[in-house]
Structure 1
């Protein structure tokens, strides 16, 4: 008896998360099936047009929105942003720079400074 190597598969939601795209915005054939590890690698190395468009224009999942705005996911929630945003909406928010975004960016910058300080301190030990 020989063991056959089967390709690892994942749910579309997992694949969308790995691709940093908003699942409901993906094509129906992507949402309806399963994605093999080989298919995921192919999507990452040579993205089709729909994936390029989604990555460029959105709508983007919350973690991408938070990263593009320079805030944490918690900061995004505190700012009242709960829905996915398009690149255009993110750009408009940056241009408008509401008070909550300024505050959350400052908080995020402080968190990063503190993490760098602790890393430097621990490297010296």
Structure 2
């Protein structure tokens, strides 16, 4: 599979991965091996980032669309996310509420 697909499956930001990962195609077995026994660079990326947009959104409790609406276009690391969570700006508080409402509505519709 392409490096971008492998990075997505591993939940890491592709530009932050080592060059050999970015330039080589990986098999499913190789990706599974990275999941089972991650090298130090993968452990560090998963712990400290930078994280891809979907991971940033999940850590902040908002949607990816909310990131775009708020002007967040780059990947964020754990420290940047921590700063936002420690003292949430108004946009983050608003987007979290919107996200909770959307999830509640989706759950309600699923029960019907």
TM-score (norm 2): 0.97
Runs of 5+ unmatched residues, structure 2: none
Report which of the two has the higher share of helix: 2
Aligned match of 2:65: 74
Aligned match of 1:44: 35
Q: Which residues in structure 2 correspond to 1:38-117 (within 5 Å)?
A: 38-117=29-108
RMSD over equivalenced CA pairs, Å? 0.7
Runs of 4+ in 1 over 2 A off after TM superposition: none
Aligned match of 1:30: 21
Q: Greater Rg, structure 1 or structure 2?
A: 1
Runs of 5+ unmatched residues, structure 1: 1-9
Rounded Cα–Cα distance in structure 2 between residues aligned with 1:118 and 1:14:
32
